[in-house]
Structure 1
Amino acid sequence: MRALRALRPVQEPPARVTRITVHRPSPPLDGLVELIWAADSYVAQAERERVLPSGAQSLVVHLGNGPLRVFTDEDAIDATEVSGAIVCGARVTPLLIDTALGPTVGVEFKPGGARPFFDLPADAITGRVVSLDALWGASAHSLRERLMETSSPRDRVRLLEDNLLRRLARSFELDAALRLSLDAFEGRDLTSVGEVNRRTGLSPKRLLALFRDEVGLSPKAFWRVRRFRSALRALDHGTLRGAAVAAEHGYFDQAHFVREFRSLAGSTPREYLAARVVGTDHVSVRR
């Protein structure tokens, strides 16, 4: 669902054909949206994939004929089927999906960035996949039809961006206390959630309420996910390995890092590197 490195259509090896277009929006969307993407075609290496948690919400519009199938775990046979467009809440575990997808377009929001577009507290959909129809009504169906009528991935990205701009309707900025807190959690020198309370002046109760309402995760859970994401980037770039990654990103030791990684990614770091779908947040699940 997410492609971080592709700035133009990318050709992968024959075993996996992916063409992804990615756009990073300009103001005022850039403070709320990480990127907007469109996948023109996708042939997976496995029947299922894990989508790794990011600490933020996402929007996915599936333009194929069949539904998107979401599994509760890797051994599950039955799946929840969602047609059309979906909103994925913030989560601390991977999202397990079927890979039989056609053309798809989506939005990766920044932490806290989805709230202006969906009129409900972020924790109302934490860990859940919700039909966009339930949040936007008939306009969600209309948006999907217009996207299906648009053949170019880049035009689909522009259409979706225009829709978000109309929904925003005015300049919008994250709450100052939330923005300060989010920045604090990105610091590699952070040692505890209590340190964020001290830096921001927010009481533990206020910080908890703010994060549940705007982000969808508790401050501690959000910190876990963002630290994991930082370590993941180091693994992807091949700059650090094992104990060095653990030390650089604030884990007690390598064993702590592996436990946290398995909890958040559903695999060990070594298994992740062998099964990752390059350029995305997806990991192939080989059963």
Structure 2
Amino acid sequence: MNYQTFAPPAHLAPYVRFFWTLECEVPAGMPYVHRCMADGCPELLFHYKGKFDKLNGDNQVENCFSSGLQAQSRHFKRFIIKRDFGLFGVYLYPNALLELFHFAATDLTNGMPDLQTVLGIEADMLEEQMMLATDNKQRINIISRFLEMKVAKAKTVRPEITQTIRHIIASKGIHNVETLAGKQFLSLRQFERQFKTLSGFSPKLFTRIIRFQSAIAEAKNQSRSLTQIAYDCGYYDQSHFIHDFREFSGYHPKHYFSGKSEAPILY
């Protein structure tokens, strides 16, 4: 399996966290199952080789888009593919949904709309260009040019809330919601309403998901105990850590950190 990340151009950095690619050769008769964890950020996805399908709760296969948006989600999802694949992703900040694509984040939360739903008449040409690109460097150039056109028409919405969202991500979710609201000189109710429009989640749920993601990132440090990881990621105790991990991944953390889960450690 080959997973790579690429930094966006500086002028796209307020909207794009990074670009990524995932490629894998799948042996015949050995389907590859991938589990996507809960995530506070949306991402554009382009299957340029092969195509994953979604597994529902009964392990029944559901058709999935070739290109589209995986919105921010509080639920894990499972996908399957039976052949070699190549997948290109644009990992976005939540504010990109409203500022670039004119969707309130709450309209898309937990959803997976196809590219036509998100982009309308622009979708077909972009999808074709991404599919026919000779390599991922060319795909980065194509999607960067497309997003640059979106940025040129973007209207900044509540920059102070956007900055708060970015700060929560950068600080790995270790925040008090009341304190965040006070810094914006807003009542708690006003702050929560505006935050949810831009992120798709309440501030409390968003910080929980970001904190969970920071714990996943610690999986690469095998020398630390689960208790150490929990405390370092801002959990009050191990029971809260286990509760969030089960809710957002479907796994007990011990199973995930064993490296035997369906979700490979990519971070």
TM-score scaled by length of structure 2: 0.86
Provide the C-alpha distance between the structure 2 equivalents of 1:214 and 1:202, rounded to a whole number of angstroms. Answer: 16
Paired position in structure 2 for 1:38: 21
Paired position in structure 2 for 1:61: 46
Are positions 1:206 and 2:158 aligned together? Answer: no
Are positions 1:215 and 2:199 aligned together? Answer: yes
1:155-170 equivalent positions in 2, closer than 5 A: 155-169=138-152
DSSP 3-state at the match of 2:63? strand
Provide the C-alpha distance between the structure 1 equivalents of 2:62 and 2:94, rounded to a whole number of angstroms. Answer: 26
Provide the C-alpha distance between the structure 1 equivalents of 2:146 and 2:232, rounded to a whole number of angstroms. Answer: 40
Cα deviation for residue 64 of structure 1 reads 3.5
Cα deviation for residue 154 of structure 1 reads 1.5
Paired position in structure 2 for 1:279: 266
Provide the C-alpha distance between the structure 2 equivalents of 1:272 and 1:165, rounded to a whole number of angstroms. Answer: 38
Q: 4+ residue stretches of structure 1 with deviation over 4 A?
A: 170-174, 186-191
Paired position in structure 2 for 1:23: 6
Paired position in structure 2 for 1:97: 79
Contact 2:97–2:104, Cα closer than 8 Å, also in 1? no
Cα deviation for residue 247 of structure 1 reads 2.0
1:236-247 equivalent positions in 2, closer than 5 A: 236-238=220-222, 240-247=224-231
Provide the C-alpha distance between the structure 2 equivalents of 1:261 and 1:65, rounded to a whole number of angstroms. Answer: 30
Are positions 1:51 and 2:36 aligned together? Answer: yes
Which of residues 217, 223, 243 in structure 2 aligns to 1:233? 217
Contact 2:21–2:88, Cα closer than 8 Å, also in 1? yes
Provide the C-alpha distance between the structure 2 equivalents of 1:228 and 1:256, rounded to a whole number of angstroms. Answer: 11
Which of residues 72, 78, 84 in structure 1 aligns to 2:56? 72
Cα deviation for residue 219 of structure 1 reads 0.9
Which of residues 86, 95, 101 in structure 1 aligns to 2:68? 86
Contact 1:62–1:104, Cα closer than 8 Å, also in 2? yes
Cα deviation for residue 106 of structure 1 reads 1.6
Question: What does the per-residue CA deviation read over 1:139-183, in whole Å, with 9 as the maximum and x for residues that have no partner?
Answer: 212112112221212211221121111222257766332134225
| Change over 3 Å in CA distance of 1:246–1:47 after alignment to 2 | same
Are positions 1:108 and 2:91 aligned together? Answer: yes
| Change over 3 Å in CA distance of 1:204–1:71 after alignment to 2 | farther
Percent identity over the alignment is 19
Question: What does the per-residue CA deviation read over 1:31-71, in whole Å, with 9 as the maximum and x for residues that have no partner?
Answer: 110111233444387632211223011110112465x4223
Paired position in structure 1 for 2:132: 149
**Residue type of the alignment partner of 1:116:** E
DSSP 3-state at the match of 1:267? coil
Which of residues 224, 248, 260 in structure 2 aligns to 1:264? 248
Are positions 1:192 and 2:176 aligned together? Answer: yes
Provide the C-alpha distance between the structure 1 equivalents of 2:92 and 2:115, rounded to a whole number of angstroms. Answer: 15
> What is the aligned residue count?
260
Paired position in structure 2 for 1:12: none
Contact 1:235–1:241, Cα closer than 8 Å, also in 2? no
**Residue type of the alignment partner of 2:264:** V
| Change over 3 Å in CA distance of 1:202–1:46 after alignment to 2 | farther
Any unmatched runs of 5+ in structure 2? none
**Residue type of the alignment partner of 1:79:** V
Cα deviation for residue 223 of structure 1 reads 0.8
More displaced 10-residue stretch of structure 1: 229-238 or 86-95 = 229-238
Question: What does the per-residue CA deviation read over 1:122-146, in whole Å, with 9 as the maximum and x for residues that have no partner?
Answer: 1111011111111212321211211
DSSP 3-state at the match of 1:130? coil
Provide the C-alpha distance between the structure 2 equivalents of 1:240 and 1:200, rounded to a whole number of angstroms. Answer: 37
DSSP 3-state at the match of 1:36? strand
Any unmatched runs of 5+ in structure 1? 1-17, 281-287
Point out which structure has higher relative CO (alpha carbons under 8 A, 6+ apart). Answer: 1
Question: What does the per-residue CA deviation read over 1:240-280, in whole Å, with 9 as the maximum and x for residues that have no partner?
Answer: 32222222222221122111111111111221122342325
